[in-house]
Amino acid sequence: MTAGDVGIGIVGYGMMGKAHSFGYTVAPVMRPLRHRPHLRVISGRDREKVASAAAAYGIGTWLDDWRELVQRPDVDIVDICTPPGSHAEIAAAAAAAGKAVICEKPLAVSYLQAAAAVAAVEKAHVLNAVGFNYRRLPAVSLMKRMIDEGAVGEIRLLRATWLSDEFVDPAIPFDWRFDRSIGGTTIADLGSHVIDMTTWMAGPIAEVSGQSVTFVRERSGRKVTVDDASSALVRFDSGARGVFEMARTAVRRPCDFTLEVNGDRGTLVFEYARLNELRYGDGGDRSELYGMRRIRAEHPLHPYARDWWPIGQGVGYGSSFVNHLGDLLDRWPDKPWEPDFAQGAAVQAVCDAIERSAAERRWVEVAEVMDNRTPSPAASPPPTHKVGR
């Protein structure tokens, strides 16, 4: 099955650099690949830390300047695992050097930056992808397939939450995560996954009404410029309605996200704490079977499951990177990658719309962000419908 080697250069040595290195290393073990990845080089600003990471991840060469990495002839794919504020610049340089680009989410810290990254890869005609890895969890991918096959009928409602306790302690010192220009907002960091999965399943979002709050406004004597918690009401192009919540101040919620889709014929629920399962309510079931059934998304007929362990053994967080990067390698060098930068930019536009809505206390159309236009003074929330007594 192997058609050739692919040289990988990873920019960034932190948690995401480790996760992507794991994905490339394990993918050829778990599934036959047309192209075998070779981790050629990793870069990072801290020489001691990047050298340590290179040794731990099995990468023979390290650099302290990503600009050297993107120019190396033995690198075919540049994989960006740095804080979001640097994504667009690195992606543009890699594309200009003729490299395919994989970028961790969010694609950027603003829609304008994301759009510039899209323009760069389109101008260079290089493959590009955004790291929305949770699409590749078997249960989430099965959820998408069941929706496409009509399991819930016409989608009416979606609700998604992503809760963590990352920012609970006010004594946590200031770092790049609290600087919007570098780390982006909680809306973009956590919400980008929520937005990607819901739009993947239900189509584009038309407009939003958001709210945000920062509970701890200073850390280490520096102003915090990101939100601790945000939420949004959402209207999809299809007419479906949604509710999103993203927070990093939920005590004892380490990385908990849920996704529920209600249609006119059924309901599907995914909970990350039980990431190998779906709950499914079929409106066509006999009345005596009323309720939700549990689906173990581990059968060989389910997405990705046949590449992993026998039923009952399950998969974990790392498996999503193996599946995601394996899919991209299978489509190398000439088949389109998905989700690509254009999809990443569309997600960022929704993030920007929620941020704008929260700041201006009004409904915001996503097109307003994408077109970079200012609303008319008469702009107002969509009309509500009175319910008769």
Question: Per the structure block, which two tokens stand in for 247?
Answer: 């927070």
According to the model, what pLDDT value does residue 374 have? Answer: 63
Segment 294-301 shows an average pLDDT of 96
User: How does pLDDT run across 232-269, given as a tens digit for each residue?
Assistant: 999 999 999 999 999 999 999 999 999 999 999 999 99
Given this model, what pLDDT does residue 286 score? 93
As a whole number, mean pLDDT of residues 137-162 equals 98
Q: Which string of DSSP letters, residue by residue, matches 250-308?
A: -TT-SSEEEEEEEESSEEEEEEGGGTTEEEEEETTS-GGG-S-EEEETTSTTSTTGGGS
Model confidence at 387, pLDDT cuts 50, 70, 90, reads: very low
The dihedrals phi and psi of 351, each to the nearest 5 degrees, come to: -55, -45
Rounded mean pLDDT of 120-142? 98
pLDDT at 193 over 90: yes
pLDDT at 386: 33
Task: Please tell me the predicted confidence (pLDDT) of residue 98.
Answer: 98
- Confidence at 389, pLDDT banded by 50, 70, 90: very low
At 373 the pLDDT is: 67
**Would the pLDDT of 379 be above 70?**
no
pTM metric for this prediction: 0.94
Q: What is the pLDDT of residues 205-221, one digit of tens each?
A: 999 999 999 999 999 99
pLDDT in tens, 269-279: 999 999 999 99
What would the mean pLDDT of 375-379 be, rounded to a whole number?
Answer: 47
Domains of the chain, CATH where assigned: 4-133 (3.40.50.720), 137-315 (3.30.360.10)
pLDDT value, residue 4: 79
Q: What is the pLDDT of residues 308-328, one digit of tens each?
A: 999 999 899 999 999 999 999
For 319-367, write each residue's pLDDT tens digit: 999 999 999 999 999 999 999 999 999 999 999 999 999 999 999 999 9
First to last CA, the chain: 66
Is the pLDDT reported for residue 385 higher than 70?
A: no
Phi, psi for residue 71 in degrees, rounded to 5 = -95, -5
Q: How many residues does the chain have?
A: 389
Is the pLDDT at 70 greater than 70, yes or no?
A: yes
388 pLDDT above the threshold of 90: no
Average pLDDT, the chain: 94
Q: Rounded to an integer, what distance in angstroms lies between the CA atom of residue 96 and that of residue 3?
A: 26
Q: What is the structure's pLDDT at 380?
A: 41
pLDDT at 100 over 70: yes
SS3 40: strand
User: What average pLDDT score do residues 188-206 get?
Assistant: 98
Q: What is the 3-state secondary structure (H, E, C) of 138-193?
A: HHHHHHHHHHHCCCCCCEEEEEEEEECCCCCCCCCCCCHHHCHHHHCCHHHHCHHH
The three-state secondary structure class of 321 is helix
H or E stretch covering 317 = helix 317-330
